[in-house]
Amino acid sequence: AGAIAFRDVHFAYDPARPILKGVSFEVPAGKTVAIVGPSGAGKSTLSRLLYRFYDVQQGSVTIDGQDVREVTQKSLRSAIGMVPQDTVLFNDTIGYNIRYGRPAATEEEVRAAADIAQISGFIDHLPGGFKAMVGERGLKLSGGEKQRVAIARTILKSPPILILDEATSALDTRTEQEIQTALDLVSKNRTTLVIAHRLSTVVGADEIIVLKDGLIAERGTHADLMRQT
Ligand code: ADP
Ligand code: ADP
């Protein structure tokens, strides 16, 4: 479940400056499609249209054939999980941060998610970095550790659709590789839309879409795109 289709999608925040000028692609259920392109190309806008932060002005976005405009906000939110570029944590334990939005989750479920994301050693700690939290349980998490919290949250939520919005772009190369391995694990068997700024980070995607000037400039597997350039 969770097949996504963008069909002839047009969108502008400002009518005088179109951002998407007729973009069509599909993410088959369980597959991974990466969107790459220069900053400002409209990559994050695509994810906002899927999540219905904004509505398309022409064309359609569908999930399993149903227009997202006909899906309730509640079911959209439960169907889609998101790992952003920078995870902002609440000033409470890592366990609380993982559980956030899922009050019914048991301790065991939170711990299991933390284990898979390899952050379980921190579960009772406070994220630190907050003035009031210089106590003994407070610690300052690295960027990679914060992404592990976001990944644990997504594992707990277990949505059929996943958006990874430059989820490793704020990390150094070695941490990026570790987090990429964790992300590959969560995106397995989920319909995944990856937003990336470099081709080299999306080698494993089933399809890569290169967005330029509001249109798809190139598309194919990583091998296809490497052959062309
Ligand atoms: P990308 O993710 O490819 O960097 P975005 O989708 O974030 O690009 O943004 C595409 C363009 O739309 C950019 O020029 C950006 O400045 C503009 N933009 C993004 N969000 C808004 C907004 N809320 N209001 C007006 N313009 C926006
Ligand atoms: P929850 O189920 O707890 O709402 P989500 O994974 O749906 O968790 O979203 C986490 C946060 O990321 C929310 O605050 C949501 O508004 C934001 N978010 C989710 N999807 C997108 C998206 N496509 N673009 C921008 N922000 C998003």
State if residue 127 touches ligand 2 by the CB under 6 angstroms criterion.
no
Higher-scoring residue by pLDDT: 164, 169: 164
**DSSP strand pairing (32-36 vs 191-196):** parallel
Is the confidence at residue 140, as pLDDT, over 90? no
Instruction: Out of 14-28, 126-140, 169-183, 199-213, give the one with best mean pLDDT.
Output: 14-28
Is the confidence at residue 131, as pLDDT, over 50? no
Rounded Cα distance between 10 and 191, Å, is 23
Rounded Cα distance between 19 and 149, Å, is 32
Rounded Cα distance between 157 and 97, Å, is 12
77 Cα to the center of ligand 2, angstroms:
7
pLDDT of residue 133: 47
Letter string b/e over residues 145-162, b meaning 16 or more CB atoms within 10 A of that residue's CB: bbbbbbbbbbbbbebbbb
pLDDT of residue 127: 80
ipTM of the prediction: 0.73
State if residue 36 touches ligand 1 by the CB under 6 angstroms criterion.
no
Counting residues of the chain whose pLDDT is more than 90, the rounded percentage is 76
pLDDT in tens, 50-87: 999 999 999 999 999 999 999 999 999 999 999 998 88
pLDDT of residue 112: 96
Output the residue whose Cα is nearest ligand 1's atom 25. Answer: 13
**Average pLDDT of the segment spanning 191-212:** 93
Rounded Cα distance between 203 and 85, Å, is 19
Q: In this structure, is the dihedral angle defined by the CA atoms of residues 3, 76, 204 and 43, taken in order, positive or negative?
A: positive
Q: In this structure, is the dihedral angle defined by the CA atoms of residues 87, 188, 196 and 28, taken in order, positive or negative?
A: negative
* Cβ neighbour number for residue 65 with a 10 Å cutoff: 7
pLDDT of residue 170: 86
Q: For residue 9, count CB atoms less than 10 angstroms from its CB and return exposed for 0-12, middle for 13-18, buried for 19 or more.
A: buried
Higher-scoring residue by pLDDT: 46, 143: 46
What angle, 0 to 180 degrees and rounded to 10, lies between the N-to-C axes of helices 107-116 and 143-157?
Answer: 130
Rounded Cα distance between 226 and 162, Å, is 26
Q: Taking the CA of residue 74 as centre, how many other CA atoms within 13 Å lie in the half-sphere pointing to its CB?
A: 0
State if residue 86 touches ligand 2 by the CB under 6 angstroms criterion.
no
Is the confidence at residue 132, as pLDDT, over 50? no
Q: Round the average pLDDT of the chain to a whole number and report it.
A: 91
